Each structure stands twice: as C-alpha cells, then as structure tokens.
Amino acid sequence: MKHLTPTIILVCLVTAIVEILYRLSYWDAQSIPPASVILQTITENQDAFVDAFTSTLKLSMQSLALSFILGFTLAVIFSLNDWIKRAVFPLAIFFQTVPIIAIAPLLVIYFGYGPQTILAAAVFVSLFPILANTLVGLDTIDKNLLELFQVYRQNAWHTLFYLKIPGSYYFIFSGLRISSGLAVIGVVAGEFVAGGGLGALIDTSRTQQRIDLVFASLIGLAVIGLLQIMLLNGINLLITRWRPFKL
C-alpha cells in the first residue's frame, strides 16, 4: 500500500478536479466523461455491462490457464529435446511477430463466431511469454547443481522435477504475470471480430458514439487485469510460503 498510495492520491485528485470542472460546466463530458457520468452509464446499462464483464473475465481466466498449460508443456519438451527446440521455437517467435488483429479474422473462418475463436486469439497472444520465460528458467540452472544430480545418477525426469522446475519458478511466474495482461488484450481482440464481452460492447459503443460506455468498458477491462494480477500474487504468496525456492 505504501507504493500504491501516491498513485491512489493522484487518481483521486484528478477524478475530483474533472468532476468539479464538469459540475461548473467547464468540462466537456463528450471528450472524457467524469466519474459520475461513467457510474450513471454503468447503472443504466447494468445488465448488459455485467454480462459483458463476466464473459470477458471468464474467457481471460480460461485463456491464461490454457496458455500456461500449453506454454509450460512446450517449454518442458524443448528443454528435454534440443532438436525439437531448434525446430519449433523459431516458429513460435515468428508467429509472435504477426499482430493478433490481423490473425483474428482468420480464426473466425477456422473456428466460427463464439468463445472458441476468442480463446484461440487470447492463447495466441499470451502463450509466448510463458513459453519463453519458462524455457529460459529451465536452461539457466546452475551447472554445479546439474553436475551434482549427474553424480548421483539422477535421470532426466528426476532432474526436471526436482531441480529444473523448482529452480525456474520465478521465471515461470514472471511469464505468467506478463501473459495475464496479454490474455485480456487477446480476448478483446477476439471479441472485436467474434462478438460478445466488453470488446463487442466497445465496438457497439464506437458506432453509437457512446464515449461514456467506452470508458466504462475500459475501466472494466482494467479491473479484470487487476483481478488476475491479484489472483496470481495470492497464488505466488501461498506457494512461496510453502516452499521458498532458493535454488
């Protein structure tokens, strides 16, 4: 909270100034709506906003979980087999250079309209940080510890589960934190073309020139991102209390 206090004070101060200027008719609500207008918009569109928020939150969580499972599994496979790593990993880097907004229409053709397309778009965006960070962690284990495991004639699987994975924990968690934000971006990009959620609500608000509803949706997306970070931090706290990971 000590680190967040200056930010909270700044946000509250700016919000109060904008609100006062709006009340005094010195602020144009059509450019940047004040907090009271945004809250009123959310209240008036409560059912649609809650449904969109819930849909985007659920898909963001699901895509982050799928990205972790797929990224972690691929990193383990690459770590165990250098030939597969050299063959496949450059392709993963190549696909990360393609903007998701250009891929999303193609995903609609493959998967159709619906949550499956949104999940595919989000996983496409959020997979690489988990894969790359986990692979870096698995490949940068202390050589002395690796030699110690070889001295005791531990096989590759024992070395993986008892040394490499615990030793690369902080790399894995760092990749998860990065992917948590990218998952929200991927979900919104998918919702722009496949429909549903806050992404579709933003797109509809754009055509209707509803700036207040766009800002309300943006705040909802920020809340989703914060909720995911808080969840990851809570899981990290529980895991590090159980085992400190000082390899």
The residue type of 235 is I
Q: What is the pLDDT of residues 88-138, one digit of tens each?
A: 888 777 777 778 888 888 888 888 888 999 999 999 999 999 999 999 888
Contacts 24+ apart (CB under 8 A), 227-235: 227/57, 228/60, 228/61, 228/64, 228/180, 228/181, 228/183, 228/184, 229/177, 229/180, 229/181, 232/173, 232/176, 232/177, 232/180
CA pair distance 206, 202, nearest whole angstrom: 6
Mean confidence (pLDDT) of the chain: 87
Q: What is the pLDDT of residues 129-157, one digit of tens each?
A: 999 999 988 888 878 888 888 787 777 78
